[in-house]
Structure 1
Amino acid sequence: MSEFIRVERDTRGVATLWLARPDKHNALSSQMMEELEAEAQALAADQDVRVVVLAADGPTFCAGGDLAWMRAQMEMDADTRRFESGKIARALGALAALPQPLIGRIHANAFGGGVGLACVCDVTVAAQGIRMGLTEVRLGLIPANIGPYVVARMGLTRARRVFMSGRLFDADEALSLDILSKVVPPEDLDATIEAEVAPYLACAPGAVADAKRLLAALGGDVTQSAVELAMDALADRWQTEEAAEGISAFFDKRKPQWVK
């Protein structure tokens, strides 16, 4: 049984996959990403599940990668670090591979890996007032493992607006970047999610899965070579003095040397 991921199923075949580490703002730890990958694979194999909703407990949708886990990687050898840092890529890959429609329920802020989670959903609905950002570069790192899915969702031109600046942006800008599909008042979020779910329940499940598979093929799936390229890029970045300085500065509660 998962500790940090919770799955709820209803009688209609709708499964809600909850990020359930609210005390840490759903920061993606090593264990949490392993659990997320495993639960996504189990849902993919469950013939009774027709739609999956990705949601989160607590005040934050997802704060990104767990910084304690990142600091621990500084002490790992290169191969072990590459395997560890690739856990988010594997979790995102499992979500992207779901044969069922995946609907994102973004009720609060999402940073780093949280943006990656939003980007693998087929439809992503967010509450007004949230903030998002690809903040890895502030730590001397890069949004690598989530990168293939972010660029596939946003397109290169839109990704250039936020991929390497680390700046935060609001829900309306996330909508214009194609990260989000809809932005609604917080009190309307659940009703909007339900409205997104309902049409699929009137469709043949096998046809929906085949249509999703065809769409991915026509649109250009994220390739394994792209995922490997991203993992290698992050592995190289971990070796830099900037990465060490960025992580150290965070835990020392000071600004890194490059901040002017």
Structure 2
Amino acid sequence: MDNFNTLELHTDPRGVATLWLSRESKNNAFNAEMIRELILALDHVSSDPNLRFLLIRGRGKHFSAGADLAWMQQSAELDYHTNLDDARELAELMYNLAKLKIPTLAVVQGAAFGGALGLISACDMAIGADEAQFCLSEVRIGLAPAVISPFVVQAIGERAARRYALTAERFDGQRAKEIGLLSESYPAETLDQQIEQWIDNLLLNSPAAMRASKELLREVGNGALTPALRRYTENAIARIRVSPEGQEGLRAFLQKRAPNWQAESNNKEPRR
């Protein structure tokens, strides 16, 4: 496994990977090194066939304060083409996270500003503390949430994205749930307990079926009914039914027993 300066990547025997943003002294703010290491970490996760899903978390008080001030100062002194290279690196991170084959869950506490909202939005699901604070803060410093905007719009919708990108208002975890950025919002003191419940629930599911469902939903998109999409969905269910895990799941259901992926998870102690 790669040795990172700004991250920690942990996996446990159950197939649960946790990617920690680990610049606690900088409130886990992004810089060029963290973005590059996040890309490398996602490559590592993507190449491990034993992983079932990925959690993204932030060490310390805050999930991420957005862009690092020193990095932003350096960016202000760069020419257009060098800034374009930086933007392409950030876009690679966001698109790679969105396209990751296994399910992804962001867990948010404290502040999540600027680019951190892109990271959260690019995940399949997100949970957070009621007291967490979110902000698309770019316009306050003369910038725009450009690279992350497609992911934010997909997560919260065009109308809400317009409001929060143009006003730079802060909103809390409960409001984040209302607009769809968070799947659920909890009191901060219960967040770790809730994470374990999410993990336990995901471990009930077929790893192959979760990957297939994620690929399916990416292809379905906004659900526009087309002949091509109909053929795709017909083939998708036929493939999963004859797959090893599809056959095991059907047999287990009919025989009223737990499928083998649940038994394997129960026999493996988590490593924290």
Q: Does residue 143 of structure 1 match 2:145?
A: yes
Of residues 4, 16, 19 in structure 1, which corresponds to 2:18?
Answer: 16
Q: Does residue 120 of structure 1 match 2:122?
A: yes
Q: Does residue 69 of structure 1 match 2:71?
A: yes
Q: Kindly report the root-mean-square deviation, in angstroms, between the aligned alpha carbons of the 2 structures.
A: 1.4
Of residues 146, 153, 156 in structure 1, which corresponds to 2:155?
Answer: 153
Output the amino acid matched with 1:184: Y
Q: For residues 47-103 of structure 1, what are the alpha-carbon distances to aligned partners after superposition, in whole Å with 9 as ceiling and x for unaligned? A: 011011000101111011112112112222211111113322221222112111101
Of residues 85, 95, 98 in structure 2, which corresponds to 1:96?
Answer: 98
Unpaired runs of 5+ in structure 2? 224-272
Unpaired runs of 5+ in structure 1? 222-260
Contact 1:127 1:171 in 2 (8 A): yes
Contact 2:130 2:185 in 1 (8 A): yes
Q: For residues 195-225 of structure 1, what are the alpha-carbon distances to aligned partners after superposition, in whole Å with 9 as ceiling and x for unaligned? A: 222233222212210110111111259xxxx
**SS of residue in 1 equivalent to 2:171:** strand
Q: How does 1:84-233 map to 2 (within 5 A)?
A: 84-219=86-221
**SS of residue in 1 equivalent to 2:128:** strand
**SS of residue in 2 equivalent to 1:160:** helix
**SS of residue in 2 equivalent to 1:52:** strand
Q: Does residue 34 of structure 1 match 2:69?
A: no
Output the amino acid matched with 1:197: I
Contact 1:53 1:103 in 2 (8 A): yes
The alignment's TM-score, normalised by the length of structure 2, stands at 0.78
CA offset at residue 193 of structure 1?
1.5
Q: Distance in 2 between matches of 1:170 and 1:187?
A: 16
Q: Distance in 2 between matches of 1:213 and 1:160?
A: 29
Contact 2:21 2:28 in 1 (8 A): yes
Q: List structure 1 segments (4+ residues) > 3 angstroms apart after TM superposition.
A: none
**SS of residue in 2 equivalent to 1:143:** coil
Q: How does 1:232-243 map to 2 (within 5 A)?
A: none
Identity %: 35
The structure that has the greater radius of gyration is: 2
The alignment's TM-score, normalised by the length of structure 1, stands at 0.82
Count, aligned residues: 221
Output the amino acid matched with 1:98: L
Of residues 85, 91, 99 in structure 2, which corresponds to 1:83?
Answer: 85
Q: Distance in 1 between matches of 2:51 and 2:19?
A: 12
Q: For residues 206-247 of structure 1, what are the alpha-carbon distances to aligned partners after superposition, in whole Å with 9 as ceiling and x for unaligned? A: 2210110111111259xxxxxxxxxxxxxxxxxxxxxxxxxx
**SS of residue in 2 equivalent to 1:8:** strand
